[in-house]
Chains A and B, each alone.
Chain A
Amino acid sequence: MNLFRTALFLAKKDLYSELKTKQILTTQIIFAGLVIVVFSFAFDPANNTTKAVIPGVIWVIIVFAGILGLNRSFISEQRNDTMQGLLVAPMEAASIYLGKFLANFAMMLVVEIVSIPFLFLLFDFKFLGSFPYFILVIFLGSFGFIAIGTFLAALAANSKSSEMLLPLLLFPITTPILIGVVQATKIILTNVEKLSSAIAWIQLVTAYDVIFFVVCFLLIDYVLEV
């Protein structure tokens, strides 16, 4: 489908330009690493209560590293006015959204693959839970977060103070995802017996992802108007 192909083109362009400098990826990974180290100082890894904190920490690093990447995804289009070029090109606004989303999501996955094992390492966390479900939850949570984040980044990029505006916009809208995903992670990592509740949370997050992905798809035309 034409929509998807142009989106892939755009995503490839973004990822190539990112791979050349690796600037944003390194910033995100270093930031995640710093947060993990600070948390490992703040919480005693041997203590049992620390185990309860780990799901939260995972999502804190995902959220904050994600915001770093999301900001740049549309700001970079303001130099040399390439945003106009994208809008004039024979592709729909929805492909721009989809392409940016795919690029951001790919970067987010890379950051997660690097930082989460590092987190488990530093906290000496025995992975007792069920691995496939864990991957699923991380995937779904990042998906929803990046979907809404890309949309709101496009919105916030119109402002001069976009770095301040984006977290402000992002926080209220992604709260249900965060609640659901932290709860699910907690259950999967610590007491796996209650897996049914985790599945319930996963269903909620999936529904939310689908609803908001569609809504963002529909409304992106209004945001990216000339």
Chain B
Amino acid sequence: MSMNLEREKAVLPGSQITDTKSLNLSKLLFSATVISMLLSLYFIFIFAEEETTMHAAQKIFYFHVSSAWLAFMAFFVTFVFSILFLIKRKRIFDTYAYVSAEIGVVFTIIVLTTGPIWAKSAWNTWWVWEPRLITTLILFFIYIAYIMIRQMDGVWDKKARLAAVFGIIGFADVPIVFFAIRWWQTKFHPIVFGEGPSQKGGGIEDTMLVALLITITAFTILYSYLLQKGVSFENMRIKVERYKEKLREELEK
């Protein structure tokens, strides 16, 4: 059953890149991002205590964990919108899925770069065969594969449909990879590094917890800002494409 491409009258989007309502929202999100980031940096560097064994390098933890949290959440958003797209077949769902995946790649890159830097400072090795790092690496490849599908040649609805299917199985894969590797580690390599690169086995300090939560909030606001910007840009781009199609049709008459 082929898709009906939505027809629209040949209206050229105005020279402003977005209309005023979404422009206001964009500005609001941007200021919220800046404020929350500055706040989180204050909390990280001034409010939270310095850890005794790893000293300053432990502060990497805040950005590293927040980015990881956002990377997984972004892909979860892609997963949800992929399902929605397969059911409802509205283009906006595919747009949200795609933009979220792109932002997820950015956060995954942050995780995969800050991770080894931290590992080097804490355990003097660049890479650790740790469940979370490996899962993030696999997640990175799944995102890249998703984006490559979306950049295939062809009609948008076919690309969107195939990408949505991959988004679903890709996301289903992530928890399995995590548990498989964790199982591997507990059975065959006793966890050498304790509960992982956060704290000495026990709970987390109060001040650190507050700083972490604020940083996660700041990152979430950054994610929303990037998502909103990306989606409105994508919508604009789609309108321009449709306009060009109309022009081509008229030229051929």
> Do A and B share a direct contact in the complex (Cβ within 8 angstroms)?
yes
Which A residues fall within an 8 A CB radius of B? 152, 155, 158-161, 165, 168-169, 171-173, 175-176, 179-180, 183, 197, 200, 204, 208, 211-212, 215-216, 219, 222-223, 225-226
Which among A159, A180, A216 has the highest number of chain B CB atoms within 10 Å? A159
A180 close to B165 (CB less than 8 A)? no
- Shortest Cβ-Cβ A-B pairs, 8 listed: A172-B141, A159-B152, A172-B142, A176-B180, A169-B145, A172-B138, A168-B145, A222-B165
**20 A-B Cβ contacts within 8 A?**
A155-B166, A159-B154, A161-B152, A165-B145, A165-B148, A168-B141, A168-B144, A173-B170, A175-B138, A175-B173, A175-B177, A176-B177, A176-B180, A179-B181, A197-B188, A204-B180, A219-B165, A222-B161, A223-B161, A223-B165
Cβ of B27 within 8 Å of any chain A Cβ, yes or no, is no
Which among B154, B162, B183 has the highest number of chain A CB atoms within 10 Å? B162
Among A172, A183, A223, the residue within 8 A (CB) of B162 is: A223
Q: Which residues of A contact B25 (CB under 8 A)?
A: none
A172 close to B145 (CB less than 8 A)? yes
Q: Given that A158-B162, A179-B181 are known contacts, is A215 also in contact with B169, CB under 8 Å in the complex?
A: yes
Q: A158-B162, A225-B1 are in contact. List 16 more A-B contacts (CB 8 A).
A: A152-B166, A158-B152, A158-B154, A159-B149, A159-B153, A165-B152, A168-B145, A168-B148, A169-B145, A172-B139, A172-B141, A172-B145, A200-B183, A208-B180, A223-B162, A223-B165
Please tell me the number of chain B residues within 8 Å of chain A, measured between CB atoms.
33
Q: Which residues of B contact A168 (CB under 8 A)?
A: 141, 144-145, 148
Closest chain A residue, CB of each to CB of B153: A160
Q: Given that A168-B148, A169-B145, A176-B180 are known contacts, is A225 also in contact with B153, CB under 8 Å in the complex?
A: no
Q: Which residues of A contact B169 (CB under 8 A)?
A: 173, 212, 215-216, 219
Among B86, B152, B172, the residue within 8 A (CB) of A222 is: B86
Q: How far is the CA of A215 from the CA of B152 in the complex (A)?
A: 24
B176 close to A208 (CB less than 8 A)? yes
User: Smallest distance from the beta carbon of A176 to chain B beta carbons, Å?
Assistant: 4
